[in-house]
Amino acid sequence: MVEREDIVEVDEALISQCILEESLEFLRDIITTDLVIVGAGPSGLTASIYASRAGLKTVLIERRLSFGGGGMGGGAMHLPTLVIEEPATEILDDIGCRYKRRGGEGVATVDSSELMIRLANAAIDAGVRFLHGVTVDDIVFREDGPRVAGVAIEWTASQMPRCTPIPCS
């Protein structure tokens, strides 16, 4: 059992320093990448798993502070079950997500939270780097090719309505 005196006192400045140093290292590392995926919904998470496993350095950018997109919580019905059609159960088997077959061949049901967490977990295991709370605003387009060479991003928080300054008299 942990005793009160076992808890190490940590200086708050050191905590901030650790966060800043680690985050800066992370951001520096993802400035150049092979693939950017926009959105941590089920599609983006699934694509990121297989791209990263195939050897591509993959960065997934999500504007919210969560995984699962519109599928989290079960969609518009707000019931915690998602329906998966064959052959997508192969992906469920691959990521270790439990499901039930319902209504005959070709349809399975899955718990929405479990699916999103398992997808996110598999993506992390595959080496995908996540950037949450960041919105992709635009793409960097190059005429040679032509090709998409990157994305323009903005912290989602900075897109929120700014307070209009009230002039003081």
Least separation in angstroms between residue 53's CB and ligand FAD is: 18
In the complex with ligand FAD, which residue's Cβ is closer, 14 or 76? 76
Least separation in angstroms between residue 92's CB and ligand FAD is: 13
CA-based nearest residue to 62, from 161, 151, 169, 148 = 151
In the complex with ligand FAD, which residue's Cβ is closer, 20 or 149? 149
Q: What number of CA atoms fall less than 13 Å from residue 134's CA on the CB side?
A: 16
CB atoms < 10 A from the CB of 126, how many? 16
- Grouping H, G, I as helix, E, B as strand and the rest as coil, residue 130 is strand
In the complex with ligand FAD, which residue's Cβ is closer, 18 or 139? 139
Residues that bind ligand FAD (CB under 6 A): 38-44, 61-64, 69-71, 74-77, 82-83, 135-136
Largest CA distance in the chain: 73
Least separation in angstroms between residue 112's CB and ligand FAD is: 7
CA-based nearest residue to 89, from 81, 79, 100 = 100
In the complex with ligand FAD, which residue's Cβ is closer, 40 or 49? 40
